[in-house]
Structures are given as C-alpha cells and as structure tokens.
Structure 1
C-alpha cells in the first residue's frame, strides 16, 4: 500500500538554481566539495555530523529556503538520461509506505553501524531527506507510465533539475482525485522490491521503534523494466599476497572447482562490455591479474548447498564459494571496470574479477524467497536525485 504525503522542497526563490543545489545521489554528495556559494546546496544536509545537518535544515526552513506543501499528495518524477548505450526514460512516483510494509521485499543485509548513522541523520533533521528506491515488476511498466503521464497531463512541472548534458529530472504534484486513485490502484497487492536504501529502511524501522516519526518512509517507485532501471554489476578487486603470481591464482581457482579459458582476442578495455553480453550455461566471471595482459573466462562452480536462487548467481558463487574461504584475502567491491583496472595498474590489488549483472528476475526471486545476495552485489541506476523532494515528519500523515 502506498500513501500520499506532505512534501518539502526548495522554495520558489531557489528553484531557478536547482541545478546547482540538488545532487545526483548520496555517493555524489559525499565526494563533492561544493562551490563558492554552496550555503543552500542539498549536500549540506546529507553529509557532516548529524547536529550540523539538523541545524542547517532548520535554518533553511526558518529563512524560507524550503517550503512545505499544504496538501498530502503523490509526486510524479520523469527522468531522461543516457547510460552507456541505454536511453533511460523513467516514470516514477514519490509516495510513502509503511516501514514494515509486508509487500516490500529486500535482497541484501545491512551493517549495524550504517543503520545507526542513517538513523541519527534522519533524527537530527526530523525528516526523510532521501527516498528509498523501490522497483515493481516489469509487467506494470506500461500501465504505470500511462497512468503517471495522464495524472500530470497539461500541468507545469513544479521542479526541474538539469543534472548535466542530456540529463533532466522533472517533478509534478498529483492533485487528489482520479489520477491519485489510479496510481494507488496500480500498486494494490503488487510486490515491491527494495533496490537502494537498505540502511535507510532499517533506520526508519529503528526510529519508529523508538517512537520517532509516523511509521512511514519516503519512497521513489519505478518499474524494473530496462526503460526505467538498469542493473549494473559491482566487480571485485582483491588484495592477496598469495596471488602475487598469476600461476598461483590460476591453481587456486582450479582447486576451487573453476574452469578457466584464456581469452586472447579480448582487449582489456572491452572486458566490461564482454561480461554484459556474454552468455554462459552457468555462473561465470572474467579475471585479470595485475601482471597479465590476457583476461581469462572463469566458469564458477555452482553454489553447493545454496538455495536454487543463489546457486547459479555469479556474484554469490564467487563471493561465497571462491573468496569467502580465503580468510587472508581482502575483496573490495568496485563499481566500474575502469576503476578496477586502475587499481590493478597502481598495484592496489593483485586481481580483479569482473562480474555480469544480475537480472531483474534473479533479484526478485532472491527477495521473494527471503534470501540475501552478497553485500554490494548490484547497482540499480539511475538512483533518484536528492534535493528534489523530502518529507518532514512533523508535517506528515
């Protein structure tokens, strides 16, 4: 069940410079240092100490930099963005869900310290500053797109964030009435899948347990169809002294049950595209040693004793079956082939494993079975931008 809510967003005097205030996602916010006039940049309430974030947020409200909606509404988000060779034309809805919503399924565990950091940050601002990112089945994509477009037809956008060349995000409020009712109807009884924001969800549950908030959480929901959401892999860069020499790496992989095939025609720069397109009967990855110039295809052993949903998942077979038993190895999730190759070139890792992405079907099967993928297994992109819509607890519900 989804619900409308009272939103907070930049006031009209700030909207002309929204492109300088909003940020693409939390990772971007943590790596930005700001410009010469960044006093109202949304980054200031996403990073730093909880007390400082809370003081900044309250100051913005007092000074009229942030305004509250008078009505409890849904908000439509339309994002256009090119990622690699894929054109994203996303239609999504901002809503709230109950923090213990039974139709919301998760596929990844959380770290207690991450939950506490997220909890303190939201407690300090007494607001949901960043939505959790939720997907619905591809079968709903067509109806969702049609319904959202109809709900805002002829209405000017409330907010427009031009993130960069060819990247635009627009937001419209949906007035109460047939449009809002149609949106609610789409999700009635439909399973939802948490794509990003596992720590924020766990933090919201903790806050609710402590008597803070109203038991609901700001959510951005879109379909898991390729037009709306791409699933990208997180690769593994591994530091392990035993693998300083390629021969020892290969011997250990074979001993673990892997089948190795050299790929003499595959250029190092094309590994990323290869793992995205390659078809294999079972789980696989591509491995590259820092002293080697030839990638190797690794057919991984199926996860012995693992449930079927995990037994053939490449990242689970690598992490659980090959890397987990090697207690002296340090495995680092890496978001791109370029960064993994850079770590090899700088001798920051001996080996990089390049993984294929999980499919929407695999993610849903794991979540519905209440299983867990290895942490940092997938990236769902693009994430909802931050600084467009927030939700104050004191004006919610």
Structure 2
C-alpha cells in the first residue's frame, strides 16, 4: 500500500425494513428465503393497462407516527421515518443518547411525493387554488425525506438526498460511508425510499415498456434472469442502515451485521433509460468497488444482482458479472420476491446482502424456471442455498446511466 493508511472500515450495525416482503428484518428474511413473490392485483389501478404492484403490507402510519404527524407527510416519507426508527433500534441506539451533531442522514429517492402531487393537482383543477394544501410543497419535495428523518431522530449532522434513480440506495450507502471515513460523522443513517405507485407513474413505466405484461397469476409475473421474462412489477418500500466506523462499533460492543468494504460508481453516458450494450458503466462501478475493497473478483462469494426481469438489463448485467467475477459467485435477484422498488431497491438489497452474509444463506430468485441461455452465472432458484459467504457484492443500475456497486464482507 506504499505506506498509505487505509481509510477506516464501516460497519452495518442496524437495519430497518418496510418492504413488500414485510415489516422488519425477520419478516423480510422469511419471505425472501421462501422465494414467494409479493405481487398482487392492485385495485387502485383497475382502469390502467397494468394492474399488478408490490405494496408494503400492514403498515399503519397513524399508529406508527401519530395521526396528526402522519397526515403532514407523503407515504414515501412515512415509510422512511419508520425504517429509520427501526434501524436505530436494531443498532441499539436511543436517539436521545447520541451526540446529535455527529449523526448524519443520507437517503435516496427519485419520484418524491408523487401521490400527494397528483392528489393536490386534482384539488387545484376541481376546487381552485385556495383549496390546495399549504403542505403540498414540503410533502412532495424529494429533499424533505432526509429533513424529516433528521427532525424525527434529532440528527443534526449533514442530511441529504441522493437521486440516481434505481441506483439511489447504493449511492446513499456510498455517500454515507464517505462521511464516516472523513470524520464528518460518527453515525449515519443511510438508505432509500420510494412510494410512487400512482396511475400516472405506472402508466409512464408501462409506456416505456419496463413493466411486466405477462398473463397468469400476479405472483408469477416477475421472473429475473428467466428466458421468458418481460419486465418488472413496480413496488414501494424503504430500507435504512445504521453505519458506524467498525472500530467504534466494536468499542461499544455493537452487533455487526456486515462491513461495507468497497463502493464504486460510474455512468454509461449512453442512453436515458437503456443500459450500455456491453455494460460499460456497471462494469466500471463494479471494478472500482472491488479495487476500493482491495479484493479480487475471484474472491467474491455472492452477488445480489440488480436483476430487474427486463430483457436488456438481465443479459447485460449477467455478462458483466461473469466477465468480472467468473462463475464462482452464487447470484440472486431478490426483486423476484419484492418487485422493483425503484430508488429504494439498492438500499433494500444492500440490507439483504448484509443479512445473507450474516446468515450464510442465499435466497432464491423467485419464478426463475429456465435460465436465459445467454447467461452462464450461477443463479439460485427453487430453494435457498446455504453457502460459505465471506465477500458479497450488490449491484444497482439506474435510469440516466447511473451505476453503483457495493462490496460487503462478513467481518
């Protein structure tokens, strides 16, 4: 290392999850290991071209946040606050006990308060400007989710939102890690959220050709890496990770779920929605993350792939994984269970990767019955696979050509 001091490692000490797979770590892990899709018919979309989504089940914002507080917030912020609270509790932190100025918040989001915006647009059209809510702007602004989480937990360090589309969650973890490495913070709540399952957003995704259009039961529609895949099922959710310097976590005898060893990001600079045909951006991001972690591709045991179940993404990504990592890693796409939660996806999958390392088990890719013949990667399907896992990777690709990769280790 030429005498260069390696930056401090960063530990994942807490995880908060509100996803279509359930609320909390255990509910999520049980559903992932079972490999059962969360997709269901969505009554709010009964007049649209696509009527299947993956929503967070059983979430009561009034009970969680209080009715008055909940009514001030769009659902994407409600989910994020609840996930952040759960993550802090999971890490063993009482927000009343931490040093507020040393606690940061970095969250990813892409579509903001789409539901609030749509509802208030109808109010404007039907009832006039005087009836529009004065909470419209703070409810739908993307940055407000970090602000509201900081307010809720009393975190007075840097708070920010990153927006790299479907790579936002991974980008947030990378940015949070840098705050810890630089010494700007001692604790950072990092993750992402999304709740934009409105008729307009779903119509836009449908017109792009991104959504699955297959017939049959809703739970059978999304099939990452399968030869018959034809798109994703849109989802909502929130995932927040508590990150601390590893030495600090050990000093307070915290439970360490995993360690974030590497992060890399790169842009395709190719197309607004399609990945580069050779996967240039995700390959550069993955190689950068491996170099940052000081591990080789041959050392990677597991990949939680972006795996969106779209024709272009899965083949492009699969080829990159094979080219950079070889055929050794055990690969899964947990989106087969959860659907694609857009900005929240990368944070959810970072959490799932940490849990896979901690529990030495790789969940199956739901609905995969016949691997695309162009792929040579080892994709888990059917049942979960116990495995020796020391090094794992989570990859994320976003509209706009954003790419991010994380390298996590078990210790």
**TM-score normalised over the length of structure 2:** 0.24
Where is the strand percentage greater, Structure 1 or Structure 2?
1
Where is the helix percentage greater, Structure 1 or Structure 2?
2
